[in-house]
């Protein structure tokens, strides 16, 4: 048997100007660090709201009023006990925070992997499933889908609390949500066309 040696491809070093331009991608690093800090703020906000909800369950009027103020719920009769509507609005607000947090994770991890540097997570037991095939096109579709989910939660919160909003606000939020849907469909369709063209070339 003849020994087969692996072919080593030599990569020529970049010239100074291309190397400088390529290195400029690291300017995005502080942006992702800032998003991580924003993620921490959302975690803190989530815990505060959750604590208020638990305290309100046990009869804390201060926590209840903090929740009512936070969700923007208003009634002619003062709220003295935790009711189903308040609970629903608070839970939707918590879900909203979680979905925005998921969006941040997709932007931070996917954006860093796509535009800055590889994270070498292949084979790692905690590697997210979606990250194994992420690229700029996939990331755009996933972000659009996440934004639609967040918009849906906001719209649901608005309709549950519809008495505190004008018809103009309700119509505007509905139109914005439909716009998000159409935009996501357009992005997905464009990505499908581009993927088909790329497949035909190969």
Domain ranges of the chain: 27-119+133-201
Name the residue with tokens 């903090």: 66
Alpha-carbon distance 50 to 14, whole Å? 53
Buried b (16+ CB within 10 A) or exposed e, 140-165: bebbbbbbbbbbebbbbbbeebeeee
At residue 133, does pLDDT exceed 70? no
Q: What is the CA radius of gyration of the chain?
A: 24
55 by Cβ neighbours in 10 Å (0-12 / 13-18 / 19+) ranks as middle
Closest CA to 47 of 82, 86, 87, 93: 93
pLDDT recorded at residue 11: 62
pLDDT recorded at residue 5: 55
Q: Work out the end-to-end distance of the chain between its first and last CA atoms, rounded to an integer number of angstroms.
A: 35
Are 155 and 173 in contact, with CB atoms under 8 Å apart?
yes
Confidence of residue 201 (pLDDT cuts 50, 70, 90): low
Are 124 and 163 in contact, with CB atoms under 8 Å apart?
no
Q: Answer with the residue of higher pLDDT: 106 or 198.
A: 106
For 41-98, the pLDDT digits (tens) are: 999 999 999 999 999 999 889 988 888 888 887 777 778 888 888 888 899 999 999 9
């Amino acid at each position: 048997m003849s020994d087969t040696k692996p072919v080593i491809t030599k990569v020529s070093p970049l010239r100074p100007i291309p190397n400088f331009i390529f290195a400029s991608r690291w300017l995005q690093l502080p942006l992702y660090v800032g998003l991580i800090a924003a993620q921490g703020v959302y975690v803190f906000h989530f815990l505060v709201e959750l604590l208020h909800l638990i305290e309100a369950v046990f009869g804390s009027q201060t926590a209840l009023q903090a929740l009512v103020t936070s969700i923007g719920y208003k009634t002619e009769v003062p709220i003295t006990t935790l009711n189903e509507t308040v609970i629903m609005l608070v839970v939707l607000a918590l879900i909203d925070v979680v979905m925005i947090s998921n969006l941040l994770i997709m932007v931070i991890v996917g954006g860093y992997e796509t535009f800055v540097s590889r994270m070498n997570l292949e084979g790692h037991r905690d590697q997210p499933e979606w990250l194994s095939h992420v690229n700029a096109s996939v990331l755009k579709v996933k972000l659009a889908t996440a934004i639609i989910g967040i918009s849906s939660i906001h719209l649901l919160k608005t309709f549950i609390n519809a008495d505190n909003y004008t018809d103009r606000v309700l119509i505007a939020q509905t139109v914005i949500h439909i716009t998000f849907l159409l935009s996501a469909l357009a992005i997905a369709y464009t990505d499908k066309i581009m993927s088909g063209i790329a497949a035909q070339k190969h």
